[in-house]
Structure 1
C-alpha cells in the first residue's frame, strides 16, 4: 500500500486567523507598537531636517542615533503616548465588536391601513 501525498495548496500569504484581535491586551500592544513606529518615523524626519553637519557626524554616529531614536520612540509610546496608538486600538476594537455583534434586527412598523389619516 502506497501513501499518496496530498498536493500542496498555494497560499495568498494573508492570514485568516483573527483570534488574536479579540484580546484587549493584544490590541493595546499593537497600538503601542504602532505608536512607537510612528514616533520613530517622526524622529527620523526631524533628524533629516538638520541645519548643519556636526564635527563627529559619520556612519557610526548615524547608526547609533538610529538605535537611540528607536529606543526613545518605544519608551515614549509606553510611558507618554501621544494618542495615535490608542485611537487605532479603539478603532480596531469597535470594528471587531461590530463583526462579533451584528446589529439587532429592527421590526418594520407598517403604516396604518387608512393612509395615516384618522377622522
Structure 2
C-alpha cells in the first residue's frame, strides 16, 4: 500500500527531520526483530535443561541487544523501506542529530 502526501500541511508540534525519520525507522525494525526473536525462542523442542528465570531473562536481554544492533546496520532492510515510504512527509531542511 502506497501512502501519498496530503495536500496542504498538517499541524505539527515540531518540524520533522530526516534524522528523526531514520531513528523511527530503525526503532520499528528493532521492534520487528525483537518480536521475531521472541517467536523463535517460544518454539519448544523439548525440556530445557538450563531452564530458569535467570537464563530466560539473559536470553531476552541478549535478543534485545541483537535486535538493537541489527537495526542500526544493514539488517533486513525494513528501516530502509520505512524511510523510503515516509520520506515525502519529512521536511528536508533541518538535520537534527
Smaller-chain TM-score bracket:
0.7 to 0.9
CA distance in 1, matches of 2:78, 2:36: 13
Residue in structure 1 matching 2:49, options 55, 74, 78: 55
State the TM-score, normalized to the length of structure 2: 0.74
Q: Following superposition of structure 1 onto structure 2, how do residues 37-52 of structure 1 map, counting pairs within 5 Å? A: 37-52=31-46
Q: Secondary structure at the match of 1:75?
A: helix
| Among candidates 26, 51, 67, match of residue 73 of structure 1 | 67
Unaligned 5+ runs, structure 2: 1-10, 92-97
For structure 1, the residue ranges without an aligned partner over 5 or more in a row are: 1-14, 101-119
TM-align CA RMSD:
1.9
For CA contacts below 8 A with separation 6 or more, give which structure has more relative contact order: 2
- What CA distance in whole angstroms lies between the structure 1 residues aligned with 2:72 and 2:47? 32
Runs (4+) of structure 1 moved beyond 6 Å? none
- Give the number of the structure whose alpha-carbon radius of gyration is greater: 1
Distance 2:12 2:73 in 1: 33
Q: TM-score if structure 1 supplies the norm length?
A: 0.61
